[in-house]
A and B are shown apart, each in its own frame.
Chain A
Amino acid sequence: MYRARLGIRPGIWLGIAALLAAAWTASPAMALDADNPGSSGWRLLNLPVGVTSISRDVYRIHMIGLWVCVAIGILVFGVMIWSIVFHRQSSGAVADVTLVHNTKVEIIWTTIPVLILIGMAIPAAHGLVLISDDSHSQLDIKVTGFQWGWHYEYVGTGVSLVSKLDAKSMAASELDSGISPYSVPHYLRNVDHPLVVPVGTKIRLLIGAVDVIHSWWVPDFGIKKDAIPGYINQSWFEVDADKPGVYRGQCAELCGRGHGYMPIVVDAVSKADFQAWLKREAAAEKAATARASSS
């Protein structure tokens, strides 16, 4: 008979190497400077908690899923590893060939997963119901994806804007541009005109597209919705009143050669600032229309 001479020994050495690599990755030396995004990439390991009630719900559901999987993994992998270590032919283990069937055990390991799944399904279904409730919005914004950028219209205000990749990213992203992406602030995640929204306001998005399918996604808001020609999809978010800031995302559905180059930037400002901004934009738009009609 043929026997493995090498067997699982290389795995022990490679496993130790992998553990050392993991320890090195997790070590504080790796997490250098939070302001320099180039060196903090090692610490990006998990979903962001985000700044909306939805994103926090999603994060919680994600962590429940993760920990359930980790727990089951430890149990199942533990039994497998136990067999691999202690039931080896080379250490004299003799196979128990009568162990081929056990109705009681099989019922148990069918029932327990069902119970665990029910335990996971309840918070997930609950969260989903909350996310789906887009009623009583205080501001509606029509979002239209195109190849390649986003058009935003503040419904009922006359204000709209087109949001595309910023010029610096554009220049640096050319093939062999010679410009280091590290020299561009928020490379590929910056736009010429960000979407401006007020914090503490329930905002409903009406999402569509003109050419192909796109997908509007801001991880910090916990929502992603496809922008599909012929459809108006709805989604909503409300940025925490105490968390104004700039939040970034990207188109998430393959939409052609510019797919990697249609970021989404949302500038969440205080309600007062938003009203002032809206007034300014409306006036500017009015002036532009007047100029266009008079000339």
Chain B
Amino acid sequence: MAETTHAHAEHDDHDHKPHGWRRWVFATNHKDIGTMYLVFSCIMFFTGGLFAMTIRAELFKPGLQIVDAGVFNSLTTMHGLVMIFGAIMPAWVGLANWMIPIQIGAPDMALPRLNNLSFWILPFAFVLLLSSWLVPGSAPAGGWTMYPPLTLQLGASFPMLIFAIHMMGISSILGAINVVVTIMNLRAPGMTLMRMPLFVWTWLITAFLLIAVMPVLAGAVTMMLTDHFFGTSFFNAAGGGDPVMFQHIFWFFGHPEVYIMILPGFGVISEIIPAFSRKPLFGYEAMVYATASIAFLSFIVWAHHMFTVGLPLSALLFFMFATMLIAVPTGVKVFNWTATMWRGSLSFEPPMLFSLAFLFLFTIGGFSGLMLALVPADFQYQDTYFVVAHFHYVLVSGSAFAIMAAVYYWLPKWVGRMYDMRLATWHFWLSAIFFNVLFFPQHFLGLAGMPRRIPDYAVQFADWNMVSSIGGFVFGLSQLLFPYIIWKCVRSGKRVEGTRAWEGARGLEWELPSPAPYHSWTTPPTEAMIARGAEH
């Protein structure tokens, strides 16, 4: 037995791995695949960001100066698709790949080859989607929500859009299956469900959401495909179909989808705030139950995205009440994070700064969400910049900031080096301030009556649009610091001594040496290690 352990330790030290391109193309190691997901996500973040910068440049002042109205619609559509399916979701899968096995004491993901497949589908999906810029009729322009009949008017990009969505969906489903199987089967002895770190818990619930709703999206777009090419009339009113049915099906996917993008963020924040408050998370069990309730509620609120389609009064009332109910578990989470900081011993390293920004700004997004739930008021907000402001508060300062917090938290563990903390702090302050300059005025624009998805606007909207665009340019440019900081850290960061990069960090990942060995937990962690990580 002792000999086996020793042999394993040797094995770990050698870190033997395939070299050259084979290491990546045939990758089965969860760390390599996680890295590929994160790099891919970063490329997509800047691709989608470029679209956003063009949008903000066009909206800098009234009149059309840069792109025509058709291209503008393609830009908003592609910005949404690329950021959601290309940047945020793959970033979370990448973090899941890197962290879940390490955090539960498993040697790898349960299905390593499936893992390889689920990643390598993505580049093909996005080459297909992005190359639609080159075909006749240009890129999809019907909005990322793809409502028919408008989306059925697309040119050659239509089938490309549908098949790209299919591929992204398959990739997500395979990734989610892998996460569920890994968490259910590969936890180290002693790592009971209620001792798991919250990032693992939130990802487990997210994975179930993905498996439940990605096929629904695939079904919706497939019906649209047959409407377009095979003469069916699922969504064609002239053939007895129903365009509103698409919206019901789409949002049955779409609402859980927004929680798919935010729940892992809740998990990350629940790891980082305790670490930098030097205090265990307040109300661990309540956090788990709140996450599960949010996931359940996410299935019964979809129609709040379509309050103006002409739903009957009873449906409006039901979806209003159900939507308002989400504020309760979400409130519990915010209160628990606040209570975790209360009487703690706080310090403000970059991961904590991004988590605090998450806490404040996501809560603001939650407030506007609560206002949007009030149906009569929603009749005014629906499809205006108020909605644009709302979902960027929950998606940028929610998901994207949580991803950045996670990278700044775990990067020292991944590469065994510390990044330039001063530069990362500037990255934080520029992001946090100019995020608000970018998106806060959009609340005003929406309330004043500016619809979303318009390439040009009446002159009374000019002032706040200019402020928003300036905020957008600085916010966008300051994101270039992020890959630079990571690159610099990987190349020449100061080496991290010992296992723990942060004084208050707890969990199995901080029991491993830094950088985490290529093959980790080939022998399970000890009960003492698990107990240290699960102090709550």
Contact = CB atoms under 8 A, between A and B. Distances in A.
The answer to whether A binds B is yes
Interface of A: 1-8, 10-11, 14, 18, 37-38, 40-42, 44-48, 54, 57-58, 61-62, 65-66, 68-69, 72-73, 76-77, 79-80, 83-84, 87-90, 93-97, 99-102, 105-106, 109-110, 113-114, 117, 120-121, 124-125, 127-129, 131-132, 172-177, 179-182, 186-189, 211-213, 215, 217, 219, 222-226, 228-231, 233-234, 249-261
Given A89-B346, A106-B332, A215-B382, 12 more contacts: A2-B502, A44-B448, A58-B376, A65-B370, A69-B367, A83-B344, A96-B279, A121-B320, A128-B316, A181-B456, A231-B244, A234-B310
A75 B374 CA distance: 22
Contacts of A18: 433, 436
B283 to A, nearest CB: 6
Interface in B358-405: 359-360, 363-364, 367-368, 370-371, 374-377, 379-380, 382-384
A180 B353 CA distance: 44
Closest 3 pairs between A and B when the two form their complex, measured CB to CB: A230-B237, A260-B454, A41-B463
11 contacts: A6-B426, A38-B460, A42-B464, A54-B376, A102-B339, A181-B459, A228-B237, A230-B243, A233-B310, A256-B153, A257-B70
Contact of B382 (A120, A187, A212, A224): A224
B149 A211 contact: yes
A284 B299 CA distance: 55
Nearest to B462: A41
Contacts of B317: 125, 128
A88 B503 CA distance: 14
Nearest to A177: B63
Interface of B: 62-65, 67-70, 73, 141-143, 147, 149-150, 153, 237-238, 241-244, 277-284, 286, 308-310, 313, 316-317, 320-321, 324-325, 327-328, 331-332, 334-335, 338-339, 341-350, 352-353, 356, 359-360, 363-364, 367-368, 370-371, 374-377, 379-380, 382-384, 412, 418, 421-422, 425-426, 429, 432-433, 436, 444-445, 447-449, 451-464, 501-503, 536
A4 to B, nearest CB: 4
B377 A62 contact: yes
Contact of B281 (A77, A100, A180, A250): A100
Nearest to A11: B429
A65 B374 contact: yes
A89 B460 CA distance: 48
Contact of A187 (B62, B444, B447, B503): B62
Contacts of A90: 347
Given A45-B447, A219-B380, A40 B460 contact: yes
A68 B455 CA distance: 34
A226 B347 contact: no
Contacts, number: 334
A89 B345 CA distance: 5
Nearest to A10: B429
A188 B64 contact: no
A93 B144 CA distance: 48
B457 A230 contact: no
Contacts of A223: 379
A83 B342 contact: yes
Contacts of A176: 64-65
A258 B69 contact: yes
